[in-house]
Chain A
Amino acid sequence: MKLTLHIWRQNNAHDKGRMVTYQVDHIIEDMSFLEMLDVLNEQLIVNGEEPVAFDHDCREGICGACSLTVNGVPHGPEKETTICQLHMRHFKDGDAIYIEPFRARAFPVIRDLVVDRSAFDRIMAAGGFVSAHTGGVPDANAIPISKVDADKAMDYAACIGCGACVASCKNASAMLFVAAKVAQFAHLPQGQPERKARVLNMVAQMDKEGFGGCTNQYECEAVCPKGIKVAAIALMNRDYLKASLTT
Chain B
Amino acid sequence: MTLDSKIPSGPLAEKWDKHRFDMKLINPANKRKFSVIVVGTGLAGASAAASLAELGYKVTAFCYNDSARRAHSIAAQGGINAAKNYPNDGDSVYRLFYDTVKGGDFRAREANVYRLAQVSNNIIDQCVAQGVPFAREYGGYLDNRSFGGAQVSRTFYARGQTGQQLLLGAYSALMRQVGLGTVELHTRHEMMDVVVVDGHARGIVVRDLVTGAISSHAADAVILATGGYSNVFYLSTNAIACNVTAAYRAYKKGAGFANPCYTQIHPTCIPLSGDHQSKLTLMSESLRNDGRIWVPKAQGDKRAPGDIPESERDYYLERKYPSFGNLSPRDISSRSAKEACDDGRGVGTTGYGVYLDFADSIQRLGKHVIEERYGNLFQMYERITGEDPYKVPMRIYPAAHYTMGGLWVDYNLMSTIPGLHVLGEANFSDHGANRLGASALMQGLADGYFVIPYTLGHYFATAKTQKVDNSHPEFRKAEEEVKARIDALLALNGTKTVAAIHRDLGRVMWDYCGMGRNEAGLKKALEEIPVLRDEFWSNGKVVGTGDNLNSALERAGRVADFLEFAELMCHDALHRNESCGGHFREEYQTEDGEALRNDDDYAYVAAWEFTGVGNTPVLHKESLQFENVKLQTRSYK
Contacts and interface: CB of A to CB of B under 8 A. Distances in A.
A86 to B, nearest CB: 9
A243 interface: no
Interface in A140-178: 140-141, 143-147, 150-151, 153-154, 157-158, 160-161
A137 to B, nearest CB: 4
Contact of B273 (A30, A131, A144, A190): A30
B133 interface: yes
A39 B125 CA distance: 46
A126 B179 CA distance: 6
B386 A59 contact: no
A121 B67 contact: yes
Contact of A140 (B128, B171, B210, B241): B128
Contacts of A51: 543-544, 551-552
Contacts of B550: 50
B278 A35 contact: yes
A118 B187 contact: yes
| Residue of A28, A38, A87, A132 with most chain B CB atoms under a 10 A cut-off | A132
A140 B75 contact: no
* Interface residues of A, dominant DSSP: loop
B365 interface: no
Q: Which of B51, B128, B497 has the most CB of A within 10 A?
A: B128
B277 interface: yes
B68 A121 contact: yes
Given A57-B70, A132-B130, A138 B125 contact: yes
B225 to A, nearest CB: 15
A147 B239 contact: no
Given A132-B130, A134-B453, A190-B128, A154 B159 contact: yes
A96 interface: no
Nearest to A189: B131
A93 interface: no
B549 A184 contact: no
B141 interface: yes
Contact of A125 (B47, B84, B179, B274): B179
B125 A137 contact: yes
A95 interface: no
A14 B47 CA distance: 36
B427 interface: no
A48 to B, nearest CB: 6
A198 B125 CA distance: 22
Given A133-B54, A137-B125, A188 B276 contact: no
A157 B139 contact: no
Contacts of B74: 58, 62-63
A230 interface: no
B482 to A, nearest CB: 22
Interface in B167-216: 168, 171-173, 175-176, 178-179, 185, 187, 210
Contacts of B497: 42, 45-46
A98 interface: no
A110 interface: yes
A141 B69 contact: no
Contacts of A191: 131
A34 to B, nearest CB: 7
B281 interface: yes
Residue of A45, A63, A131, A151 contacting most chain B CB atoms (<10 Å): A63
A85 B381 CA distance: 11
Nearest to A188: B131
Given A85-B384, A121-B68, A130 B131 contact: yes
Contacts of B72: 57-58, 63
Interface string A43-62: 01110111101011111101
Contacts of A200: none
Contacts of B142: 140-141
A65 B69 CA distance: 9
A154 B139 CA distance: 17
Interface in B512-536: none
Given A58-B75, A62-B74, A116 B66 contact: yes
Contacts of B274: 28, 30-31
Nearest to A127: B179
A58 B239 contact: yes
Interface string B489-518: 000000101011000000000000000000
Given A87-B383, A130-B129, A34 B276 contact: no
B277 A35 contact: yes
A129 B383 contact: no
Interface string B263-277: 000000000011011
Contacts of A125: 175-176, 178-179
A62 B164 CA distance: 8
A30 B271 CA distance: 11
A153 B434 CA distance: 35
Contacts of B306: none
A145 B140 contact: yes
Contacts of B71: 63
A48 B541 CA distance: 8
Interface string B122-149: 1011111111111111111110000000
A135 B126 contact: yes
A46 B241 CA distance: 21
A161 B141 contact: no
B499 A38 contact: yes
Contact of A35 (B178, B276, B495): B276
Contacts of A44: 543
A29 interface: yes
A13 B186 CA distance: 19
Interface string A197-224: 0000000000000000000000000000
B326 interface: no
A134 B176 CA distance: 12
Contacts of B92: none
Interface of A: 11-12, 28-32, 34-35, 38-39, 41-42, 44-46, 48-51, 53, 55-60, 62-65, 81, 85, 87, 89, 110-111, 114, 116-118, 120-121, 124-135, 137-141, 143-147, 150-151, 153-154, 157-158, 160-161, 184-185, 188, 190-191
Rank and list the top 5 A-B pairs by shortest CB-CB distance, nearest first. Answer: A144-B140, A125-B179, A137-B129, A129-B172, A30-B273
13 contacts: A30-B274, A38-B276, A45-B497, A46-B495, A57-B241, A63-B75, A65-B66, A130-B131, A134-B450, A144-B141, A150-B133, A157-B132, A185-B131
Given A30-B273, A121-B175, 13 more contacts: A12-B548, A30-B386, A35-B276, A39-B276, A58-B70, A58-B75, A60-B281, A65-B66, A85-B384, A132-B173, A133-B54, A140-B134, A140-B142
